Chain A
Amino acid sequence: MNVLTDNFSTYAQGFLGTLQLTVYASVLALVLGFVMASFRVAPVAALRAVGAAWVTVLRNTPLTLLFFAVLLGLPRFGLVLPFQVFAVLALGCYTSAFICEALRAGINTVPKGQGEAARSLGMTFGQTLGLVVLPQAFRSVIPPVGSTLIALAKNSAIAGAFSVTELLGTYKTLGELGYDVVWTFVWIAVGYLVVTLAISALFNLLERTWGVAR
């Protein structure tokens, strides 16, 4: 029990690191995922191919390999950034592929007639997209995006193994100080549960507020 009270600052630092990684990588993943999803539904074949390649490659890459390539590979090109930025890049790019698929599936759930009706009312492409298609797509993508972001929070643990300050990495520091390993891990587990359950609660709230009643 006193593992937590004695080392509260270490844990807090790790927890904050996990939180930062999760938030920044989520933002990157949502933005990139949106861009790639718009590529995948674009009428231009070349852009669709780019989107499809991005999704296929990143969805089938082990995240450890991606971390390995980004954290240890990019510095070989003379690109030297803090490890945390690299970790956000790797996590964000990896998750963007899943976000992209969730968004694309959401856009495809909007019935064709909705767009046809909007256009026959004289709406432009932008209006159709912003006023008709996206609001309906948004409602059905809440659960899949939520579970993807939870997966991101859990995947951020890999960054800890690549010496980024983060919750799982605290076990090493505390192990060297001679604390009981089992209790150290219990508190790490509690930290992760707090993060994942918080995201889950947020998205359940969003789902209740805006989700589609089926």
Chain B
Amino acid sequence: MSQATALYDIPGPRTRQRHRAYGVLAVAVILGLLGWLVALLSTTGQFGHTKWLPFAYQGIQELLLRGLGNTLKAFALAAVLSLALGGALAAGRLSDHRAVRLPATVVVEFFRAMPVLVMIFFIFVALKVQPLPALVAGLTLYNGSVLAEVFRSGVNAVERGQKEAAFALGMRKTQVMSYVLVPQAVRAMLPAIISQLVVALKDTSLGYLITYEEFLHAGKLIASNLDYDLPFIPVVMVISPIYIGMCVLLSWFAGWVSRREQRSPKTEAVDVAAAGPGTLLPGGGPPTARRP
């Protein structure tokens, strides 16, 4: 335990003993709950042979893999496009010209305040687009707007002296931006950007709701099969570790990047963002890189 907490001192021998007793009690309760869960699963027949049979068939394994491939395809498209859109919108919001800044601000604030699903449904239902483009477009609009805010707060978080020094050297504003501010901002914001990509990866599962044939959809197809006695719980037990594993890997990568960048001498003039989804209050004050 880090000693940075204000809650308690370093425990003495008696307190440590008491904590150990609590620990034993807590472990007993957790094991009890887990045991109860396993018992519940087995009494309702979730470990039955027929329910797990489908996963032995090659056709069904291929169905799941195809679903996973479609999920990753949607994620890759949405990630690339939303990074591009985020960059464009951030450039718009940081512009000196009000004619550019105002529309960019309106777009960013609107799409950040709207649920992604409403956008995806609108594109899918009202504009009658195919599921994949609808999903990618919805994810791009939302994540692009959030990433625009992330980029912008990164550029604003670079120490003022950097910009002043660059201008004093006679650089133009585009040069200041592209040679001095943006490289530092991207380094500082890399953890937040990757965390936002985790959000995009998780949100690809919304494609299930508009009948895009992604991973969850493949799972649903297997789960509603009467031949295998509706293997619903087995499907969840197979699918969720894969989904969660992918997201945990990406989140862990964000954390690793964050720790690495914090040590890097290239981020001395800017606060490195913590690895976490950088949701900011809409309509609030100007975003800051990190609250101390």
For residue B27, which residues in chain A have a CB less than 8 angstroms away from its CB? 46
Find out whether the CB atom of B115 lies under 8 angstroms from the CB atom of A168.
Answer: yes
Find out whether the CB atom of A185 lies under 8 angstroms from the CB atom of B281.
Answer: no
Least Cβ–Cβ distance between B29 and chain A, in angstroms? 9
Complex interface: stretch among B96-104, B157-165, B169-177, B199-207: B199-207
| Cα of A175 to Cα of B198 in the assembled complex, Å | 33
> How many A-B contacts are there with CB distance less than 8 Å?
190
Complex interface: stretch among A7-15, A23-31, A113-121: A113-121
Q: Which residue of B lies closest to A38 (CB)?
A: B7
| Cα of A140 to Cα of B9 in the assembled complex, Å | 23
Q: Is chain B's binding surface mostly helix, strand, loop or mixed?
A: helix
Find out whether the CB atom of B121 lies under 8 angstroms from the CB atom of A59.
Answer: no
| Cα of A167 to Cα of B235 in the assembled complex, Å | 30
Least Cβ–Cβ distance between A97 and chain B, in angstroms? 11
Known A175-B125, A182-B126, A189-B114: A76·B240 in contact at CB below 8 Å: no
For residue B203, which residues in chain A have a CB less than 8 angstroms away from its CB? 62
| Cα of A192 to Cα of B232 in the assembled complex, Å | 33
Interface band, chain A: 35 or more
For residue B114, which residues in chain A have a CB less than 8 angstroms away from its CB? 154, 189, 192-193
Least Cβ–Cβ distance between B18 and chain A, in angstroms? 9
| Cα of A160 to Cα of B248 in the assembled complex, Å | 27
Among residues 101 to 132 in chain B, which have CB atoms less than 8 Å away from a CB atom of chain A? 113-118, 121-122, 125-126
Cβ-neighbour of A157 out of B6, B118, B277 (below 8 A): B118
Find out whether the CB atom of B1 lies under 8 angstroms from the CB atom of A43.
Answer: yes
Find out whether the CB atom of B206 lies under 8 angstroms from the CB atom of A61.
Answer: no
| Cα of A158 to Cα of B203 in the assembled complex, Å | 11
B47 within 8 A of A: no
B143 within 8 A of A: no
For residue A132, which residues in chain B have a CB less than 8 angstroms away from its CB? 6
Find out whether the CB atom of A200 lies under 8 angstroms from the CB atom of B284.
Answer: yes
Find out whether the CB atom of B202 lies under 8 angstroms from the CB atom of A63.
Answer: yes
| Cα of A50 to Cα of B236 in the assembled complex, Å | 21
Q: Which residue of A lies closest to B278 (CB)?
A: A147
A36 within 8 A of B: no
Least Cβ–Cβ distance between A78 and chain B, in angstroms? 7
Find out whether the CB atom of B26 lies under 8 angstroms from the CB atom of A61.
Answer: no
Q: Which residue of A lies closest to B8 (CB)?
A: A43
| Cα of A64 to Cα of B274 in the assembled complex, Å | 26
Known A41-B7, A192-B113, A207-B284: A171·B220 in contact at CB below 8 Å: no
For residue A116, which residues in chain B have a CB less than 8 angstroms away from its CB? 6, 9
Among residues 245 to 289 in chain B, which have CB atoms less than 8 Å away from a CB atom of chain A? 247-248, 251, 274, 276-277, 279-284
Least Cβ–Cβ distance between A171 and chain B, in angstroms? 7
For residue A144, which residues in chain B have a CB less than 8 angstroms away from its CB? 279, 291
Find out whether the CB atom of A98 lies under 8 angstroms from the CB atom of B277.
Answer: yes
Other than A48-B1, A77-B40, give 20 A-B pairs with Cβ distance below 8 A: A43-B11, A46-B30, A50-B26, A57-B244, A59-B247, A78-B44, A107-B6, A115-B6, A143-B281, A143-B291, A146-B281, A150-B279, A150-B282, A158-B206, A185-B121, A189-B118, A192-B114, A196-B282, A214-B291, A214-B292
Contact sample, A vs B, 9 pairs, CB 8 Å cutoff: A43-B1, A46-B23, A50-B30, A62-B247, A77-B40, A158-B206, A161-B209, A196-B113, A214-B291
Give the top 9 A-B pairs by smallest Cβ distance, nearest first.
A115-B6, A60-B247, A62-B205, A154-B115, A64-B205, A46-B26, A157-B115, A147-B279, A62-B202
Binding site for B on A (CB under 8 A): 41, 43-48, 50, 56-57, 59-65, 68-69, 72-73, 76-78, 98, 101, 105, 107-116, 119, 125, 128-129, 132-133, 140, 143-144, 146-148, 150-151, 154-158, 160-161, 168, 171, 175, 181-182, 185, 188-189, 192-193, 196-197, 200-201, 203-204, 207, 214
